[in-house]
Amino acid sequence: MNVKEIFETMEYGPAPEGSAEAHEWLDGYGRKFGHFINGEFTKPGKTFASTNPANGEELAQISQAKKGDIDLAVSAARKAQSDWEALSGYERAKYLYAIARQVQKHSRLFAVLETLDNGKPIRESRDLDIPLVARHFYHHAGWAQQRDRLFPDQSAYGVCGQIIPWNFPLLMLSWKIAPALAAGNTVVLKPAEFTSLTALLFAEICQEIGLPKGVVNIVTGDGDAGEAIVNHPGIDKIAFTGSTGVGKAIRKATAGKGKGLSLELGGKSPFIVFEDADLDSAVEGVVDAIWFNQGQVCCAGSRLLVQEAVEERFIKKLKARMETLRVGDPLDKAIDIGALVAPVQVKRVQDLMKKGEEQGAVRHQPDGAVPSNGCFVKPTLYTNVQPANIIAEEEIFGPVLVAMSFRTPDEAVTLANNSKYGLSASIWTENINLALDIAPRVKSGVVWINSTNNFDAAVGFGGYKESGFGREGGKEGMRAYLRPNWELKLKSLGKSTVPAKPKLFATDGIDRTAKLYVGGKQARPDGGYARSVVNADGKLVGEVGEGNRKDIRNAVEAARGALSWGSKPAHTRSQILYYMGENLDYRRSEFADRLREMTGVSAGAAKKEVELSIERLFAFAGWADKYDGAVHNPPVRQMAVAMVEPIGVIGIAAPDESPLLGAVSLLAPSMAMGNTSVLIPSESAPLAMTDFYQILETSDVPGGVVNIVTGAKDELTKTLAEHDGVDAMFYCGDAEGGKKVEQYSVHNLKQTWTNKGKAMDWTDREICEGEYFLERSTQVKNVWVPYGA
């Protein structure tokens, strides 16, 4: 080829990054690694191969952790924890800073090793993964130093078990380890079995900087080792990133164990192109959304939604751009798409592609050849895809994009939200008003406007729905590694006192029976039964409807129908909560009498419970327009607007004790933040909340915002916690009941708060009028907005 021809084709020659240093490092360990426990590498045990997916060559043998190894790692972490947390924030900050510096110093070695082990283009590991790792440790050095100032009266969980995937091996390690250490935890981390090498190099850095022994422990192995970490009784919190299937298994395994849990799971994120978008920029956006890291990105923009008027033009431009993507040796600096992580992933991707084609999707791939001896898959675009096609619904985790079209912005939102996942979304339009209208309506934890796949340590990241819960990065991420000191001091509630078996009878014609409250109206229970409410002496004090599964389903439907409550101005919600307080105040003696009658408490105690309930409504009325977001300043020309959003429909199983105050303490923050709810009142003293209907009705609470179903708490809770239309559960009861709620919540991965079988002190203003329940009633969405002409 002569110069003229080269100039015309703009063909690149190969530009390979040298890998000698990485191979030398591997040789230094005899290409056989043990675990890193208590500051030392252990002797390798039973091992498995870690291979280079670009050519199938074995890189090293990695040890498979057995239960004994996990025991050793957990006890080293436990031993180190109290001293680590007792260091000053400044001391911990210095260690995190030292790690950041070492990562920078060894950045080339890290990048090459990552690319060899994972198959991702060196351009990405060098320019994105490793710099972001350093940034994460820098950022968290600051949190370490400010922990006590910014998170007063909170402590570290203790020992954290952290399980990470193979798509961003070192980056996910930093997302896990940096906040955990900043907060004062020690960790046992397991990298994914395909990609352990950079975690082991990281262990070496921990040695180099003299990190106290046992603060970071790294054990290697497959899912069995992961399971052993999850089930280890010595671990206080589990943080997991990976597939939704394993996330659900972990939710189930940890149910009722009282461990902290954060799950960052899969996605099927929409990439929305409006007709007024800068189409050429949007095409580049697609390249970064789905072909970055071979599409093995949990927040990959894998569902392209294009407005009909520009669909043809956009797809044509996209296809032309696909022709120029270079697939090949990931160590080549001019490569766009490297290798998938392992043959099993290639097969998984190809199987899904085949199924999608069987369901009518039309495949487009560029003409160029790809190397035949590694895990390479061509960039792929599917058109003619129905929303119900498997490739439009399932996470493919490969370089495969599905395209669909929409007509109106509303249709774009409906299509975008038509997914069990809710991790991220990318919105392309030149109209900022439209972008900022759509962003809050898309159910996802991150929204990028005219951009995609931006990450920063200061900006929280995490999902809604089956994409998991909890956030990583920023203040939200720090909170996930801390817990309030009062939680540890709570006494056990003991076994819930089962109320005497109530008498059930048909309600026909008996109008004394308090009905259910659904959609703003009193409703007869579906089954037509009522139950007696008796006081401690066995005297009948009233009757309430006996709700059943159907009633819960109706109530959930009503609550879903009222979700626009969340988009009302905070001032309106505040005003309504104040009215509720005022109206309860008018009826204070009536409510106090009722409490006394049902529970046998003294007149003084009943009066105090009502007074505190009024105060609580006032407190959250005041909070409604104050617990709000932030604007972050990531190191790119974008601002990230952290919006505090309601979770959606919250199921509330109120405590048996303090039947009015307990229920109000959970209901008020949830309402203040814009959630709607289905509340199951105290089983033994439900009349406090059936009387509350009048308060709701006289306070302008829109129908469906609060729904109340009385009856057998355990049975009703089961239906509520299993219902996919419920987004979160608050449960107060005995430990067994709390465990069941966590188990029932698995299907749609609803967030749960339970009292963990502990006796809550509902009179405690510090606990019950502060940010604790506001935090549990909200989730943070980060909207990235670019600026600059």
What is the side-by-side order of every strand in the sheet holding 400-406?
Answer: 362-364, 380-383, 400-406, 301-307, 269-273, 424-428, 446-449, 778-786, 638-646, 630-632
543 has catalytic annotation: no
Strand 540-545 vs strand 529-534: parallel, antiparallel, or unpaired?
A: antiparallel
609 binds ligand NAI (CB under 6 A): no
395 binds ligand NAI (CB under 6 A): yes
How many residues contact ligand NAI, by CB under 6 A?
A: 25
298 binds ligand NAI (CB under 6 A): yes
295 binds ligand NAI (CB under 6 A): no
446 binds ligand NAI (CB under 6 A): no
Residue 229 sits at φ, ψ, to 5 deg, of -70, -45
How many CB atoms are closer than 10 A to CB 26?
Answer: 22
Using the contact rule CB under 6 A, the part of the chain among 164-172, 200-208, 313-321, 383-391 near ligand NAI is 164-172
188 binds ligand NAI (CB under 6 A): no
Q: Select 226 or 547, whichever has its Cβ closest to ligand NAI.
A: 226
Using the contact rule CB under 6 A, the part of the chain among 13-21, 99-107, 235-243, 324-332 near ligand NAI is 235-243
How many CB atoms are closer than 10 A to CB 45?
Answer: 15
In the chain, the N- to C-terminal Cα span, in Å, equals 41
- Work out how close the CB of 11 gets to ligand NAI at its nearest, in angstroms, rounded to a whole number: 33
As a three-state string, the secondary structure of 539-599 is: CEEEEEECCCHHHHHHHHHHHHHCHHHHHCCHHHHHHHHHHHHHHHHHCHHHHHHHHHHHH
Using the contact rule CB under 6 A, the part of the chain among 223-231, 491-499, 547-555, 767-775 near ligand NAI is 223-231
Residue with tokens 């056989």: 32
170 binds ligand NAI (CB under 6 A): no
223 binds ligand NAI (CB under 6 A): yes
- Closest of 649, 646, 645 to residue 723, by C-alpha: 649
- Work out how close the CB of 384 gets to ligand NAI at its nearest, in angstroms, rounded to a whole number: 23
Using the contact rule CB under 6 A, the part of the chain among 161-169, 733-741, 754-762, 774-782 near ligand NAI is 161-169
Using the contact rule CB under 6 A, the part of the chain among 100-108, 126-134, 221-229, 758-766 near ligand NAI is 221-229
758 φ/ψ sector (left φ>0, alpha ψ -120 to 50, else beta): beta
Site residues (CB under 6 A) for ligand NAI, limited to 246-275: 246, 249-250, 265-266
Q: At what angle do helices 107-118 and 20-28 cross, to 10 degrees?
A: 80
- CB-CB contact of 149 with 188 (8 Å): no
230 binds ligand NAI (CB under 6 A): yes
> E strands within 603-697?
630-632, 638-646, 649-653, 676-680
Q: Which of 119, 165, 301, 651 binds ligand NAI (CB under 6 A)?
A: 165
- Work out how close the CB of 647 gets to ligand NAI at its nearest, in angstroms, rounded to a whole number: 21
Question: Minimal CB distance to ligand NAI: which residue?
Answer: 226
405 binds ligand NAI (CB under 6 A): no
* The token pair that represents 408 in the structure block: 């109106």
- Work out how close the CB of 264 gets to ligand NAI at its nearest, in angstroms, rounded to a whole number: 6
Q: Select 165 or 520, whichever has its Cβ closest to ligand NAI.
A: 165
Rg, C-alpha atoms of the chain = 28
In 185-211, which positions are buried (b, 16+ CB within 10 angstroms) versus exposed (e)? bbbbbbbbbbbbbbbbbbbebbeeeeb
305 φ/ψ sector (left φ>0, alpha ψ -120 to 50, else beta): beta
Q: Select 220 or 690, whichever has its Cβ closest to ligand NAI.
A: 220
Catalytic residue among 114, 124, 264, 557: 264
Distance CA(471)–CA(645), nearest Å, equals 13
Using the contact rule CB under 6 A, the part of the chain among 92-100, 162-170, 268-276, 671-679 near ligand NAI is 162-170
Q: Which of 63, 64, 167, 198 binds ligand NAI (CB under 6 A)?
A: 167
- Work out how close the CB of 168 gets to ligand NAI at its nearest, in angstroms, rounded to a whole number: 8
How many CB atoms are closer than 10 A to CB 733?
Answer: 23
Q: Select 299 or 482, whichever has its Cβ closest to ligand NAI.
A: 299
Distance CA(473)–CA(457), nearest Å, equals 5
Q: Which of 52, 186, 241, 450 binds ligand NAI (CB under 6 A)?
A: 241
Strand 47-51 vs strand 40-41: parallel, antiparallel, or unpaired?
A: unpaired
Distance CA(92)–CA(181), nearest Å, equals 8
193 binds ligand NAI (CB under 6 A): yes
Using the contact rule CB under 6 A, the part of the chain among 76-84, 236-244, 489-497, 612-620 near ligand NAI is 236-244
Q: Select 397 or 448, whichever has its Cβ closest to ligand NAI.
A: 397
Q: Which of 19, 55, 75, 243 binds ligand NAI (CB under 6 A)?
A: 243
480 binds ligand NAI (CB under 6 A): no
How many CB atoms are closer than 10 A to CB 71?
Answer: 14
Rounded-to-10 torsion of CA 668, 674, 675, 681: 20
Q: Select 444 or 450, whichever has its Cβ closest to ligand NAI.
A: 444
421 binds ligand NAI (CB under 6 A): no
778 binds ligand NAI (CB under 6 A): no
Distance CA(732)–CA(773), nearest Å, equals 13
190 binds ligand NAI (CB under 6 A): yes
360 φ/ψ sector (left φ>0, alpha ψ -120 to 50, else beta): left
Site residues (CB under 6 A) for ligand NAI, limited to 122-141: none
Using the contact rule CB under 6 A, the part of the chain among 244-252, 584-592, 658-666, 739-747 near ligand NAI is 244-252
Q: Select 294 or 755, whichever has its Cβ closest to ligand NAI.
A: 294
Residues facing residue 421 across a β-bridge: 465
Residue type, 605: A
Site residues (CB under 6 A) for ligand NAI, limited to 310-369: 345, 348
593 binds ligand NAI (CB under 6 A): no
222 binds ligand NAI (CB under 6 A): yes
163 binds ligand NAI (CB under 6 A): yes
What is the side-by-side order of every strand in the sheet holding 237-241?
Answer: 40-41, 36-37, 216-218, 186-190, 159-163, 237-241, 260-264, 468-469
How many whole angstroms from its chain centre is CA 88? 30
- Work out how close the CB of 257 gets to ligand NAI at its nearest, in angstroms, rounded to a whole number: 14
- Work out how close the CB of 344 gets to ligand NAI at its nearest, in angstroms, rounded to a whole number: 8
* The token pair that represents 57 in the structure block: 């060559």
- Work out how close the CB of 192 gets to ligand NAI at its nearest, in angstroms, rounded to a whole number: 4
* The token pair that represents 471 in the structure block: 């956030």
How many helices, marked H, and strands, marked E, lie in the chain? 30, 35
Distance CA(306)–CA(407), nearest Å, equals 9
Q: Which residues are the active-site residues? A: 264
List contacts with ligand NAI (CB under 6 A): 163-165, 167, 190, 192-193, 222-223, 226-227, 230, 241-243, 246, 249-250, 265-266, 298, 345, 348, 395, 397
